[in-house]
Structure 1
Amino acid sequence: MKYILFFFSIFTVAQNLKTPFELGNGNQSTTYSECISYYEKLDNQFETIQMQKMGLTDSGEPLHIASFSSDKNFDFNSNKAVILLNNGIHPGEPDGIDATMMLMRDLATNTIKVPKNSIIVAIPVYNIGGMLNRNSHSRANQNGPEAYGFRGNARNYDLNRDFIKSDSKNSRSFQEIFQLVNPDMFIDNHVSNGADYQYTFTCIATQHQRLGGKLGEFYKNEMHPTIMQKLKLKNIESVPYVNIHGDMPDNGFAQFMDSPRYATGYTTLFNALGSVPETHMLKPFKDRVRVTYEYMVETINYVDQNATKIKALKNQNLDNYKAGMQYPLQWEIDSTKVSYIDFMGYQGGYKPSDVSGKERLYYDKKQPFTKKIPFYNDYKATKEVTIPSFYIIPQSQWPIIELLQLNKIEMQPLAQDTEIEVESYKIASFETTKYPYEGHYGHYITTVSKSTEKVKFRKGDFMISTNQKGVKYLLETLEPEAVDSYFNWNFFDTILQQKEYFSAYVFEDLAKELLDKNAKLKAEFEAKKQSDSKFAENGAAQLDWIYKHSPYYEKAHLQYPVYRVK
């Protein structure tokens, strides 16, 4: 009788804790205030749920984390695995917000399998400003819900492009949360854009080569396929995120490369396994919420069963990033390595537009198909760098130092003024975007020239060892040629502008004196005139060349102010 009463009590509690989504018509998503109130209710009713206020967002509202621990131990540094769930980075894609509310309730009420070896941490809503900007029209390509948030945050940043540059308070507060909970698995819930096909659920598994070593191979070959198979047993078919926009996927596609600007690109830098569920925009909202829920359940079950192995592989992965080893900074698809996957699509084609009369793409849902298509899951490095033993950053670069400290990078200030032999970079070339992207005119195709020299550093400048957990974070941010480096995100643009120049009529005499006193310089000058006819005809260019090869040319111009020690 007690057994029956216990389960009746659990059932009653669950009924009283229905979410706004469950109380609605299946096409309604919670509001922000309803969401936070719901988690506060869980916190008040269950000792296994803990709600915490964290740092501020651009909206002025704080982030929260809601944690579940079956034994009420919320020590993130214990032997338990930690799974971090992020929701509402794009609040117009609210599936994860509603699914996670039900998930945390069901964990607390024991209505689903409860993890014993894991702590579940959820960010209820990451982009609070975007969720407060509630509307019904900004997702023109999406089938429900009736109302939802907006992609941009309170300052109109796309937060899934802000994980390295951290222009938003949201990003900085996320990094505090991430470093606090130190997750072994990270899930960032989304809804897709792009092609049409039969699947409700697609998923980006973070690129295994960027994870690196046995950890990456384990995720690619064991963990992710097993979770997908578990979903299949629940009649949820899945496929890798269909990385196609404005075209048909019939000819195949490549795995999405999540560079560090993206959520899983950032979390990978600290060896956390990561995934981005992408439910299909055209499927009913209630179905999208269901598959998001089931994916999180199966991922939690897998991590809980393999917690010891996952944590060991995560720790061992640091052995792949030691001083003297090579580290890939840039990647491209390896077209020589291709796998074939079964793809459940719709027959696509082109027909005249009723609007423009021009050809338009369409999908015929009366003609579903299943066929094998190529899937490119491997990348190859196109540029590598040797990992140094240390980086040295002058204390004057305080914006960079603040971001490193936020990410728990260990650094040691010099105790006294010191001359150190270092590898030094000059920015040799770069391109800059013509249009703004997320608040920046970013650089790309950056190259550097290298030299070894002795540099005098001041007391208080920072020595940063690469022998630490954040080594990949250091390499991706401090190496200028890395795709999402601080240089490419404009943090060092002041070095690109000369501060001192010369007046030609004054420098003419000094230029002649420099050439007369330096035979080597004069020989190089004459050789350049011989080899470059345009240069030979341009007096201003010749003066500028002499100036830039003289002691009068400022050392700071194009000098990258971060140094390497082998």
Structure 2
Amino acid sequence: MKFPLILILTAFLFFSCEEHTKEATSTEAIKYPTPFENGNGNQTATYEEIIGFYEELAADFPHIEIEKIGLTDSGKPLHLISFSKDRINWESTNEDKIKILINNGIHPGESDGIDATMMLLRDLATGKVNAPDNLIFSAIAVYNVGGSLNRNTSTRTNQNGPESYGFRGNARNYDLNRDFIKADSRNALAFYSIYHKINPDIFIDNHVSNGADYQYTITHLFTQHNKLGSAAGNYLHTKLQPELEARLAKRDLPITPYVNVYNSSPEKGFSQFMDYPRYSTGYTSLWNTLGMMVETHMLKPYKDRVLGTKAIMEEIIIIGSESRLEIKQARTDSFKAFRNASQYALNYELDYSKADTLNFLGYKAVIHKNELTGNDLMTYDRHQPFSKKTVFQNYFKATDSVLIPDYYILPQSQWKIIELLRHNHIQMEFLTKDTTLAVTKYRIASYQTSTNAYEGHYPHHAIEVEEKVEELRFRKSDIMIPTHQPGIKYIMETLEPAGQDSFFKWNYFDSILQQKEGFSSYVFESTAKEFLTKNEALKREFDSIKMSNKNFRESNYQQLEWIHKRSPNYEKAHLTYPIYKWNK
């Protein structure tokens, strides 16, 4: 039977349109689709697309707010996106709400959280995801704006997608997840504003892992519970983490702690990563926020990683909403625990006396000869998956502690430190007149300095101090920092020089490590001789060193320098830490 040409063309167009409609249905069914959803599952939104997407949501939905906060090193602000069923009053503490803060794009090549959060905020706004009435959900759209704008296709050497992405370093090439204490970047200052504006109960920083191969698509890195301590640390470890793991298992999304290994197979066991205050979750824990990093696995398909990240945030919303009172109480109790504390632990080490056991889903590690180098190389055989009992060292113990004073006193000359304290909402008092106080002062007895640059610094370590009580005269308007306040952990971690992320460690006080005045041997020799004559005990010590130390005995300068450092001529500022401790 012959059909007219017009019927053939009509039929062709009908079926073509029907097929086109079928292909488009998945996208058209989604209101406000993201660039990730419009793509092939292996694409992430550009910075311009991200901000444009949120601006459209905020314009169309009253429950979505978008704010520009501060500046970043790129010259652009941070964008804070917030969702709540009620109009948010930021002048209030909002303690009737569970407050969740998400950070995305601190390493823009790890873009999973960017796309996941765009979809989640859209779903909250449109009602696709049921939003609890007691929720304030906030997200930093892209934290590392400069890195996001520096888009490329090759620097994430080990990562499976997306097709193009931003760069790890920011506009000034800082790794921003090492900057939360030293605050070299404008980004950090803007983050302080956001964090203290919200005072979140839960904080999530979205990342992608780099290291061993294993079966999991998603891993978690909760802030170290022993260092967080008190009720908040206990709740995080015994309730929040197990509850999240159980909920994800019901969604057929197995999750494990961050696999903290390097050139070693995880089946041999591994330890938790200690997130000191330089890291985002280590910083937020200083105010007893329950923090975690999401670490998706670099080798898994990008689409699976994004959807896994979204699932974690969805479950955290449910847990947070249902457990709001318990979480609030844990944070409150943790603040109370420091009100009458007399000591503060600065440094921690693994506690080998206890560990957890994981049912770890891994791949067999195999050793073979590397064709390029000719040496042994460890790889993973995905054809040999396993489930094994694996040791996870998840407990740390304090190795030292310092006495907590009533106050730290800062000369007003330390304006840079004072500014950082202000950015972090640390309460301060001012001396109203010149005052003499008996204070404890530190002398830097010894320290070591890194020989390699690290994030714009040559940090100090192995710091040892000597203490001395002395009466000192302070000027009107010098700064007094009371320790009994919500920011006590921040105060102790930064102002105690031996802390892992103290301001001293990060080179803020390097000027005290260099002598400003010296001596000429031919001039000082007669003064030194007279000084020893008047100090018999010191002369006996001097003579003893001369007898036992050949190098000392044969060096005029070493001998005179030894005397000079013990004489009234020696400058008091050298190695004297310019922050003091005072008790009422």
TM-score (norm 1): 0.96
The yes-or-no answer on 1:77 pairing with 2:90 is: no
Aligned to 2:19: none
Q: Secondary structure at the match of 2:400?
A: strand
Aligned to 2:381: 364
Compared CA separation, residues 97 and 12, structure 1 to 2 (3 A): closer
1:53 and 1:62 in contact (8 A); partners too = yes
Q: Secondary structure at the match of 1:438?
A: coil
Aligned to 1:4: none
Q: Counterpart amino acid of 2:444?
A: I
The yes-or-no answer on 1:543 pairing with 2:560 is: yes
User: For the residues of structure 1 that align with 2:536 and 2:161, how far apart are their CA atoms?
Assistant: 76
The alignment covers a number of residue pairs equal to 556
Deviation at 1:527, TM superposition (A): 3.5
1:330 and 1:482 in contact (8 A); partners too = yes
Aligned to 1:60: 75
The aligned runs of 1:155-554 (5 Å cut-off) are 155-322=172-339, 325-554=342-571
1:324 and 1:386 in contact (8 A); partners too = no
User: For the residues of structure 2 that align with 1:184 and 1:147, how far apart are their CA atoms?
Assistant: 34
User: For the residues of structure 2 that align with 1:323 and 1:563, how far apart are their CA atoms?
Assistant: 20
1:341 and 1:374 in contact (8 A); partners too = yes
Deviation at 1:82, TM superposition (A): 1.0
1:338 and 1:377 in contact (8 A); partners too = yes
Unaligned runs of 5+ in 1: 1-10
User: For the residues of structure 2 that align with 1:56 and 1:175, how far apart are their CA atoms?
Assistant: 12
2:70 and 2:77 in contact (8 A); partners too = yes
Aligned to 2:53: 38
Deviation at 1:211, TM superposition (A): 1.1
Q: Counterpart amino acid of 2:483?
A: T
Q: Give CA deviations for 1:338-380 in whole Å, capped at 9, x if unaligned.
A: 1211100001111011211211111100000000011100011
Q: Counterpart amino acid of 1:77?
A: T
User: For the residues of structure 2 that align with 1:252 and 1:20, how far apart are their CA atoms?
Assistant: 40
Q: Give CA deviations for 1:44-81 in whole Å, capped at 9, x if unaligned.
A: 01111100010000001100100001122343512212
Q: Counterpart amino acid of 2:185?
A: S
Which residue of 142, 145, 157 maps to 1:140?
157
Q: Secondary structure at the match of 2:161?
A: coil
1:14 and 1:109 in contact (8 A); partners too = no
Aligned to 1:6: none
Aligned to 1:24: 39
Q: Secondary structure at the match of 2:287?
A: coil
2:231 and 2:331 in contact (8 A); partners too = no
Deviation at 1:12, TM superposition (A): 11
User: For the residues of structure 1 that align with 2:373 and 2:239, how far apart are their CA atoms?
Assistant: 49
1:323 and 1:389 in contact (8 A); partners too = no
The yes-or-no answer on 1:108 pairing with 2:125 is: yes
1:212 and 1:320 in contact (8 A); partners too = no
Q: Secondary structure at the match of 1:59?
A: coil
2:27 and 2:37 in contact (8 A); partners too = no
User: For the residues of structure 1 that align with 2:532 and 2:339, how far apart are their CA atoms?
Assistant: 47
User: For the residues of structure 2 that align with 1:172 and 1:351, how far apart are their CA atoms?
Assistant: 48
User: For the residues of structure 2 that align with 1:328 and 1:56, how far apart are their CA atoms?
Assistant: 34
User: For the residues of structure 1 that align with 2:273 and 2:87, how far apart are their CA atoms?
Assistant: 38
* Aligned residues: CA RMSD: 1.4
Aligned to 2:63: 48
Q: Give CA deviations for 1:363-416 in whole Å, capped at 9, x if unaligned.
A: 100000000011100011112111111100100000100000000000011101
User: For the residues of structure 1 that align with 2:339 and 2:486, how far apart are their CA atoms?
Assistant: 11
User: For the residues of structure 1 that align with 2:548 and 2:352, how far apart are their CA atoms?
Assistant: 40
**Residues 320-329 or 277-286, more deviating:** 320-329
Q: Counterpart amino acid of 2:527?
A: L
TM-score (norm 2): 0.93
Compared CA separation, residues 546 and 324, structure 1 to 2 (3 A): farther
Q: Give CA deviations for 1:451-476 in whole Å, capped at 9, x if unaligned.
A: 11111111110000001110000000
2:27 and 2:38 in contact (8 A); partners too = no
Larger Rg: 2
User: For the residues of structure 2 that align with 1:339 and 1:15, how far apart are their CA atoms?
Assistant: 43
**Residues 524-533 or 430-439, more deviating:** 524-533
Deviation at 1:526, TM superposition (A): 2.5
User: For the residues of structure 2 that align with 1:14 and 1:314, how far apart are their CA atoms?
Assistant: 42
* Percentage identity across paired residues of the two chains: 52
Deviation at 1:210, TM superposition (A): 1.5
Deviation at 1:113, TM superposition (A): 2.0
Deviation at 1:530, TM superposition (A): 4.3
Q: Give CA deviations for 1:497-551 in whole Å, capped at 9, x if unaligned.
A: 0000000000000000111122232233233334544433333211111100000
Q: Give CA deviations for 1:80-105 in whole Å, capped at 9, x if unaligned.
A: 12100000000000000000000101
Compared CA separation, residues 424 and 13, structure 1 to 2 (3 A): farther
Aligned to 1:8: none
Unaligned runs of 5+ in 2: 1-25
